[in-house]
């Protein structure tokens, strides 16, 4: 619905992608490494992604159909080994 918007918020682990099927949609992202707000205006066929930890909010500038898609990425380095696994068999 035109002029509909969400709260300013962030996700700790989820990526947040917005894909616009129709209409005009605004996504504001507060970046951690500088004091500006990045504003992206999306029209039909366009998308943008907000990474975890970034405050953001969105607003429909026109009546719009927008898909909001979430996912998490696993970190292959998230294991800290103290020992090496194996078997108890001797060669």
pLDDT at 3: 95
pLDDT at 48: 98
Distance between CA 44 and CA 1 in Å, rounded? 15
Residue with tokens 């969105």: 58
Q: Which of 6-10, 32-36, 45-49, 69-73 has the lowest mean pLDDT?
A: 32-36
| 16-28 pLDDT, tens digit each | 999 999 999 999 9
pLDDT at 91: 57
| 41-67 pLDDT, tens digit each | 999 999 999 999 999 999 999 999 999
pLDDT at 81: 83
With CA atoms as reference, report the closest residue to 53 among 9, 19, 17, 6. 9
């Amino acid at each position: 619905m035109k002029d509909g918007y969400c709260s300013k918020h962030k996700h700790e682990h989820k990526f947040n992608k917005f894909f616009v099927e129709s209409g005009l949609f605004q996504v504001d992202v507060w970046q951690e490494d500088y004091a500006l707000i990045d504003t992206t205006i999306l029209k039909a066929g366009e998308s943008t992604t907000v990474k975890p930890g970034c405050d953001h909010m969105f607003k429909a500038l026109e009546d719009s159909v927008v898909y909001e898609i979430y996912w998490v990425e696993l970190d292959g380095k998230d294991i800290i080994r103290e020992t090496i696994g194996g078997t108890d068999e001797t060669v």
